[in-house]
Amino acid sequence: MFKEGRHTSYIVKEGTPFILSLLVLAILTLLSGLEIVSILFFFITLFVTWFFRNPEREPPKPDTLVVSPADGRVIKIEEAYCEEIPGQVLHKISIFMSLFNVHVNRIPCSGQIQSIRYREGKFFPANLDKASEFNERNTIVIGRTDGRKVVTIQIAGVVARRIVWWIKENSTVQIGQRFGMIRFGSRLEVFIPREAKILVKIGDQVKAGQTPLGEL
């Protein structure tokens, strides 16, 4: 069973090096008499602290739902193949995360982590279709108790240069649990069985661990 206890602080630990470094720069420039520069660094420090926020979320109860793994905007819904589930046409939902979204990612459905596969790649803007094919990514396959699979893919963007995940293969996970993040703007994709009813449309704003994407 995956336990998210060490990742429940209001500011995720991955943000600490950035926040402390900026704070030190703000203090040093203030002591050097560069007040305007110091104020700028203080504001940047506040923004970066806010970026790494990690609010509590209460997932919906029905086990038939697949929820969004990310905060952001739905930019594409299509039928597509996924190399992790060969031979099946699936629903593919793409979500774009801007700099202003919460960047902690959450498990879309309860089940067992069957595989985690990281792949290096390029850093095209995450809202472009070619980012889905060429960018750095981390693919996670979740096997549900009913035998069906849901795949979620973390995709880095032009600014995001670090994909983080906290789960391990064979871990049992629950819908809405935190499982990782992507630093500074990115994209997530979710592959859902074709028989699922899609509950969102292009342009919808979604919240990780809360907004249902589909119902099985």
Note if 38 is an active site residue.
Answer: no
Q: Check: CB of residue 22 under 8 Å from CB of residue 40.
A: no
What is the pLDDT at residue 161? 60
Q: What is the pLDDT of residues 116-156, one digit of tens each?
A: 999 987 777 667 777 778 888 999 999 999 999 999 999 98
Strands (E) in the chain, as ranges, are 65-67, 72-82, 85-97, 104-106, 111-119, 137-143, 149-156, 163-165, 172-173, 178-182, 186-193, 197-198, 205-206, 212-215
**Tokens (6 digits) for 192:** 């859902």
Q: What is the pLDDT of residues 20-47, one digit of tens each?
A: 999 999 999 999 999 999 999 999 999 9
Q: How far apart are CA 41 and CA 31, in angstroms?
A: 13
Pick the catalytic residue from 94, 132, 171, 186. 186
Mean pLDDT of the residues in the chain: 90
Q: How far apart are CA 184 and CA 113, in angstroms?
A: 26
Residue that is written with structure tokens 């801007």 in the block: 98
pLDDT grade, residue 160 (50/70/90)? low
The residue extents of the domains of the chain are 5-51, 65-215
pTM of the model: 0.90
Q: Check: CB of residue 90 under 8 Å from CB of residue 126.
A: no
Q: Which CATH class is domain 65-215?
A: mainly beta
